[in-house]
Structure 1
Amino acid sequence: MYSHPLFSGLISDEYGQPVNTVSINGEPFYIVNDAGFLRHIPAADVDRQVFDTLMEQIRGHEDIIIEQAQKMLNQEDNLFSRAVLLNQLKNMDKQFEALKETGIPDASREYLGLMGFKVKINIHGEVLSVDQPGQIPPPEDE
């Protein structure tokens, strides 16, 4: 069951105004103020766009991510940990489904916000930008 917006508190509208959340009949919505008209946008739609954006940034950089994760875990020479991490990256859709069930802990969302993670959406719920600390620059066209 999808009961809590994943990126609550991290989303603003295209003018930089914070986007609130509400639950209606158990379904979470982001609320965008459109000149006084409060637009209710299904949180699942916005959260999926943000998640897909993050996953797109990961694609092609799996080796770097795995290497850094192994360093953080002190597992640089462990082939098993590499295989586990690679499997997790390959099954990111399953990760999103699990996140929908459990949500992102409040403390983790607060930490993301403090580190500069921000999402900007328009009045239709389309993600305009995802700003994150330590973002990997896009590959240069050759």
Structure 2
Amino acid sequence: MTNIAMFADLVVDEEGQPVQVAWVGSDACYVLDDGDFQRYVDAEDVDRQVLRFFKQQVEEHRDIAVRGML
């Protein structure tokens, strides 16, 4: 686990509301408001999913990305 949430201001819940960041010990978590329950989700797991998605998008559109960088 990690002590930072890389996408702290970008992660939203199912209703499009921004989630909070909290720490359980030294581990960063995104906190989802689930009615009367606060759900703590490991930030590293979420951040890795976001990074995988970014990587996939770049690989699928590599030609556009390369042209844009030149």
Normalised by the size of structure 1, how large is the TM-score?
0.46
Count of matched residue pairs: 70
Residue in structure 1 matched with residue 12 of structure 2 by the alignment = 12
Output the amino acid matched with 1:19.
V
> Could you say which structure has the greater relative contact order, defined with CA pairs below 8 angstroms and 6 or more residues apart?
1
Alignment of 1:63-82 (within 5 A): 63-70=63-70
Residue in structure 1 matched with residue 24 of structure 2 by the alignment = 24
SS in 2 for 1:4: coil
Please give the per-residue CA displacement for 1:78-129, whole angstroms capped at 9, x wherever unaligned: xxxxxxxxxxxxxxxxxxxxxxxxxxxxxxxxxxxxxxxxxxxxxxxxxxxx
Cα RMSD (Å): 1.5
Unaligned runs of 5+ in 2: none
Equivalent residues of 2:21, 2:31 under 8 A apart: yes
Q: Following the alignment from structure 2 to structure 1, what is the Cα–Cα distance between the partners of residues 44 and 60?
A: 26
Residue in structure 1 matched with residue 56 of structure 2 by the alignment = 56
Residue in structure 1 matched with residue 40 of structure 2 by the alignment = 40
Equivalent residues of 2:30, 2:40 under 8 A apart: yes
Q: Which has the higher strand share?
A: 2
Q: Following the alignment from structure 1 to structure 2, what is the Cα–Cα distance between the partners of residues 10 and 23?
A: 17
Shift of 1:53: 0.9
Normalised by the size of structure 2, how large is the TM-score?
0.87
Q: Which has the higher helix share?
A: 1
Shift of 1:16: 1.7
Instruction: Kindly report structure 1 stretches of 4+ aligned residues shifted beyond 3 Å.
Output: none
